[in-house]
């Protein structure tokens, strides 16, 4: 019907016919799972590409839910298509982590971050962190090696129940969702560094930021042996260097050296359409997906064009609550022409007005793109639903 990749509907039919399909399909494989609010898709693409590079002629042993369908349906769908693949790289929704730990026993679990996302579905993010912590506690000594973002207090609290943790300092600057200690509720203290990063500590209990095994600084990744490497990625943004550091730590646990891993990483250019360039209506657009305030904070500095287009929707896949718009620093777009589009374009327009950003409001996606043509490629940031529509309009899906 041309509605999408078919991954979710295929998984829904599969699990109707075989209700235990998810549990049956994750058994008996070496699994690397990746979860967190931001960066799951790109990080799993990094991990999968590195493992394929290492496997060489045996790369067919690997299965990966590459299209980002990360709920039970999507994971079951991907695994069912590769019944003989004994290595699985699984992008995993935050709410599926506990089930995957119980039924699939992943060898490595990458925990990226927590930020407010789809509040109507996920509610307070501490609930998700508590689920991760409890699931790791139940797994005990048989639990996975956890690759954990040391800059995130909630990830740290959850990961401490794992039998082994590899800590990664990701140079995260977004900390608006991490003001209070997840263990005791006290206000966290932060010590700022000259490079704009900070370290956190709870003054009321033992929870504190761990020393990192891998460190992201100034565009480089420092390995546990002290070597600093330039990843030279083909996807933009400091946040993707952080994703690469997490992926590097993950594949190292499976015996993949950094040089081999980086060759794989550099083959990743537009994971599931992110950062792809599409031709729509005769003009060229670079498509950037951002779904929550932390994602928008990382994506806005990537905008290089004038004009640029921002697209907002609030159906189930986007999250119905768009109050997060007020947490994003749109003020950095002052002096640039912005086209606000999508079904919630007027909500965005109010925020841009308060930010004193010159803008026009064109809810229709096609008309908005037509109003934002330029001599070169125009940057577009969109939430999930309009992003998927853009991929289809550009023939990329």
**Spatial distance between the Cα atoms of 351 and 134, rounded to a whole number of angstroms:** 39
**Spatial distance between the Cα atoms of 341 and 393, rounded to a whole number of angstroms:** 15
Same domain? For 222 and 322 the reply is no
pLDDT at 293: 87
Same domain? For 284 and 258 the reply is no
Q: What is the CATH number of the domain that holds 38?
A: 3.40.1190.10
Strands 308-311 and 378-382, bridge-based pairing = parallel
Same domain? For 192 and 339 the reply is no
The answer to whether residue 2 is domain-embedded is: no
Q: Can you list the alpha helix ranges (DSSP code H) found in 31-96? A: 40-55, 72-80
pLDDT at 113: 92
Out of 206, 237, 271, a domain closes at: 271
pLDDT digits (tens, 9 = 90+) for 371-390: 998 789 999 999 999 999 99
pTM above 0.75, yes or no: yes
pLDDT at 212: 96
pLDDT at 176: 76
Out of 242, 271, 300, a domain closes at: 271
Same domain? For 170 and 296 the reply is no
Same domain? For 157 and 45 the reply is yes
Tally of helices (H runs) and strands (E runs) in the chain: 14, 17
pLDDT at 195: 67
pLDDT at 4: 66
- Residue 16: which domain range? 7-271
Residue 308 labelled as part of a binding site = no
pLDDT at 3: 67
The total of structural domains in the chain comes to 2
pLDDT at 117: 59
pLDDT at 243: 97
Phi and psi (nearest 5°) for 199?
Answer: -115, 150
Same domain? For 343 and 228 the reply is no
pLDDT at 388: 92
Q: In degrees, to the nearest 5, what angle opens at C-alpha 41 toward C-alphas 309 and 71?
A: 110
Same domain? For 97 and 183 the reply is yes
Same domain? For 39 and 113 the reply is yes
Same domain? For 263 and 300 the reply is no
Same domain? For 157 and 16 the reply is yes
For the chain, which residues score pLDDT lower than 50?
120, 122
Helix (H, G, I), strand (E, B) or coil at 373: coil
Place of tokens 């493992």: 51
Phi and psi (nearest 5°) for 15?
Answer: -75, -20
Region of 110 please: left (phi>0), alpha (psi -120 to 50) or beta. beta
Q: How far is CA 297 from the centre of its chain?
A: 13
List of residues 6+ apart from 232 with CB closer than 8 A: 262, 266
pLDDT at 365: 96
Residue among 87, 42, 94 nearest 68 (CA): 42
Two tokens at 212? 């990192």
Please answer whether residues 378 and 265 qualify as being in contact, where contact means their C-beta atoms are separated by less than 8 angstroms: no
pLDDT digits (tens, 9 = 90+) for 184-214: 999 999 988 766 678 999 999 999 999 999 9
Catalytic positions are: 321
Out of 271, 288, 311, a domain closes at: 271
Two tokens at 287? 């498509």
Report the percent of the chain where pLDDT is more than 90: 81
Q: What is the CATH number of the domain that holds 374?
A: 3.90.190.20
The answer to whether residue 1 is domain-embedded is: no
Same domain? For 235 and 316 the reply is no
Same domain? For 174 and 26 the reply is yes
Cα separations (Å) of 267 from 68, 234, 235?
A: 18, 7, 10
């Amino acid at each position: 019907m041309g509605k999408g990749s078919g991954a979710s509907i295929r998984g829904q039919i599969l699990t109707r016919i075989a209700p235990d399909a998810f549990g049956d399909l994750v058994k008996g494989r070496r699994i690397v799972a990746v979860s967190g609010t931001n960066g799951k898709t790109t990080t799993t693409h990094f991990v999968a590409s590195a493992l394929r590079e290492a496997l060489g002629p045996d790369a067919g042993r690997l299965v990966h839910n590459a299209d980002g369908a990360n709920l039970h349906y999507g994971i079951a769908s991907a695994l069912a298509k590769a019944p003989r693949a004994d290595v699985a790289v699984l992008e995993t929704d935050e709410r599926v982590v506990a089930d995957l730990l119980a039924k699939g026993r992943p060898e490595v679990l990458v925990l990226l971050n927590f930020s407010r996302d789809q509040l109507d579905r996920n509610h307070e993010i501490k609930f998700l962190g508590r689920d991760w912590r409890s699931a790791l506690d139940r797994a005990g000594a048989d639990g996975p090696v956890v690759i954990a973002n040391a800059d995130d207090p909630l990830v740290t609290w959850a990961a401490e129940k794992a039998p082994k943790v590899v800590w990664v300092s990701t140079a995260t600057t977004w900390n608006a969702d991490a003001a209070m200690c997840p263990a005791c509720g006290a206000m966290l203290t932060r010590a700022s560094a000259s490079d704009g990063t900070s370290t956190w500590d709870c003054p009321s209990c033992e929870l504190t930021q761990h020393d990192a095994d891998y460190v992201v600084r100034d565009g480089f990744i420092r390995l546990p042996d002290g070597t600093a490497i330039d990843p030279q990625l083909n996807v933009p943004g400091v946040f993707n260097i952080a994703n690469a550091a997490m992926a590097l730590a993950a594949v190292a646990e499976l015996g993949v050296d950094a040089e081999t891993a980086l060759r794989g990483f550099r083959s990743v250019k537009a994971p599931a359409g992110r950062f792809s360039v599409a031709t729509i209506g005769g003009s060229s657009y670079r498509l950037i997906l951002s779904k929550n305030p932390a994602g928008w904070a990382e994506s806005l500095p990537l905008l290089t064009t004038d004009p640029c287009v921002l697209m907002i929707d609030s159906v189930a896949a986007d999250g119905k609550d768009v109050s997060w718009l007020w947490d994003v620093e749109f003020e950095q777009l002052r002096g640039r022409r912005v086209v606000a589009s999508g079904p919630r374009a007027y909500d965005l327009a109010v925020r841009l007005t308060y930010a004193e950003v010159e803008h026009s409001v064109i809810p229709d996606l096609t008309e908005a793109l037509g109003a934002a043509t330029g001599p070169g490629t125009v940057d577009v940031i969109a939430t999930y639903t309009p992003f998927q529509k853009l991929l289809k309009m550009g023939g990329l899906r």
